[in-house]
Amino acid sequence: MSKVGKPWSKLKARVEDLFVPSLDIRIHCTKYRYYTNHDHYDVPRHYIMMAGEVIWDFPGPYLRSKGNPYAPPIDYQWGFANGVASVLRQYLDCPKDKLLETQFEEDHWFLGDMLRAADRRLGFKRLTVWAMMMDTPNPAKPVLLARFARVPEDEGQSTTSAGTR
């Protein structure tokens, strides 16, 4: 395995350990070749799948902001790909009781919201209040809907303390 693969696999495992198992959510990183008239670049692609369907994809829809309700009004820059790993690390390092209120640096793509929606440490009551405050289109909503449909199961697997629900 290459040196690049080892850190990603460790980061991936740490993030996926936080997800509610019954949601069947996986995060992936791969690369594709982007061609210009004079050169080509290997561009990282990060995506999240739930039950075998891609529910979040970077940079895909963020390169085509027209018609995408989730795309922020920013131009894609190659450096943003590093922002995905940065947001993942910031999320992992954030204290559990601050997760719902923290705005992660470089998170221009609702990745933090996707992680919150799937995080087994966050209880139903706190997630419900947080979800009700969403006022923009948000790709985390399908995850929340799937999770709320499994409330008894999620509550049984939650590892939060009674004081944080």
pLDDT of residue 164: 42
pLDDT of residue 1: 39
- The answer on pLDDT for 148 being more than 70 is yes
Residues in CB range of 91: below 8 A, 6 or more apart: 15, 99, 104, 112, 115
In the DSSP assignment, the letter for residue 57 is: E
pLDDT of residue 159: 46
pLDDT of residue 36: 74
Per DSSP bridges, beta strands 53-58 and 25-35 are unpaired
Out of 18-22, 58-62, 89-93, 96-100, pick the least confident. 58-62
pLDDT of residue 135: 75
Query: What is the radius of gyration, based on Cα positions, of the chain?
Result: 16
- The answer on pLDDT for 157 being more than 70 is no
Higher pLDDT, 71 or 107: 107
Residues in CB range of 153: below 8 A, 6 or more apart: 20, 22
pTM: 0.78
Number of domains in the chain: 1
Domain that holds residue 67: 5-164
- The answer on pLDDT for 119 being more than 90 is yes
- Mean pLDDT computed over 126-140: 89
CB 161 within 8 A of CB 135: no
